[in-house]
Amino acid sequence: MTGHVNSLIHDENCFAALPRTERGRSVQIGGDPKGKNFLYCIGNHVIIRNIENLAESDVYAQHALQTTVARYAPSGFYIASADTGGKIRIWDTTQREHLLKYEYQPHGAIYDLCWSPDSKRIITAGDGREKFASAFLWDSGSSVGTITGHHKPITCVDFKPSRPYKVATGGEDMQIAFHSGPPFKFDQKINSHSKFINTIKFSPNGEKFVSGGADGRAFLYNGKTAEKEGELGNPAHSGGIYGSAWKADSAQLITCSADKSVKLWDANTLELMGTINVGSKLLDQQLGCLWQGDHILSVSLSGYINYLDFSNSALTKVIKGHQKAITAITLSADKKKIYTVDYTGLTNIFSIV
């Protein structure tokens, strides 16, 4: 729910709000390295949900402005979350209070962030007057290099999860910038896309990375050299690509698109292995995705969270709820259901037994 809350809501009967969505912008959805939880942003909050039992959730609400992205450290002990004002907060995941560890303001609005594999460094990317990204130590804020190569806001960033460390960024200038470090410095610029780049993700083994753009095209590159290895499809989607995610063994990956589909690809042959069409309406555009263990998730423009099964080419579950402030709530006569209405007129029914 999206009304006034305390700094933390941690209750087994908390019905979490859906992710905030905006047409034409990726939804950042992140996974717990232990495979138990996933997280996303709504309003000034960060939502943490159990991937198997969605009734289990936390709401972190200590940002003053609208949150944009949250990521677990690879260690699993901390979460870094950021907002439109450019503030990044690093907080504890092991205690119920989620105590604040550090707070920084590296540049303007933050659209994406990533941790280094050793959980010691953070890179933020977004907008700003003097710079669009920053690389720093998580426990001191000290710089560990510069992330350059763009002349417009950076929309996505990812860290190569194996040595030698590399960082790839994509931006509104339709460019990919590749960096080496630490300390990080610009290596090369890659021209693959003709529109905004919305997603960049390294494979778990670090051997490849994928880029996806608003032009509906997706490319694979060598993780060490950034040499282009090929294109997924021709193009991959008939609409803009807003998310990508890898299987843990790095053999397969998924892409999601405004064409309302999620597609499965072979990372070695680049062949299409499956397509799931989520719907046919505008609100069925797919803006984000996550592959965590046996679970494949995507987020629709409606905010709905979809659980996908490519072995049967079907949706196995769709999580519905509210994205906007709730204006009315009532209990059924038998006290087994809750009826809620938000200011858009959307009505939801929640079972409480």
Of 227 and 1, the one with more pLDDT: 227
Are 332 and 196 part of one and the same domain? no
Is the per-residue pLDDT at 153 higher than 80?
Answer: yes
Helix (H), strand (E) at residue 121: strand 121-126
Return d(Cα 81, Cα 74) in angstroms, integer. Answer: 14
pLDDT of residue 6: 38
Please check whether residues 72 and 218 belong to one and the same domain.
Answer: yes
- As a whole number, mean pLDDT of residues 252-265 equals 98
In a domain, 19, yes or no: no
Task: Read off the pLDDT band of 13 (50, 70, 90).
Answer: low
pLDDT tens readout for residues 310-350: 999 999 999 998 887 788 888 888 888 888 888 777 787 87
Say whether both 343 and 239 belong to one domain: no
Per-residue model confidence (pLDDT) at position 323: 81
Domain span holding position 348: 326-352
Per the prediction, the chain carries an average pLDDT of 93
- Determine, yes or no, domain membership for 167: yes
Residue 14 lies in a domain: no
What CA–CA distance (Å, rounded) separates 347 from 345? 6
Query: Structural domain tally of the chain?
Result: 2
Does residue 129 fall inside a structural domain?
yes
174: number of Cβ within 10 Å: 18
Confidence of residue 7 (pLDDT cuts 50, 70, 90): very low
Domain membership flag for residue 18: no
Residue-wise pLDDT for 189-213, tens only, equals 999 999 999 999 999 999 999 999 9
pLDDT of residue 138: 98
**What is this structure's pTM?**
0.92
Does residue 348 form part of some domain? yes
Contact (Cβ atoms closer than 8 angstroms) between residue 185 and residue 146: yes
Does residue 24 form part of some domain?
A: no
Give 224's contacts (C-beta < 8 A, 6+ positions apart).
Answer: 160, 164, 166, 206, 207
Query: Is the per-residue pLDDT at 10 higher than 60?
Result: no
Domain assignment present for residue 97? The answer is: yes
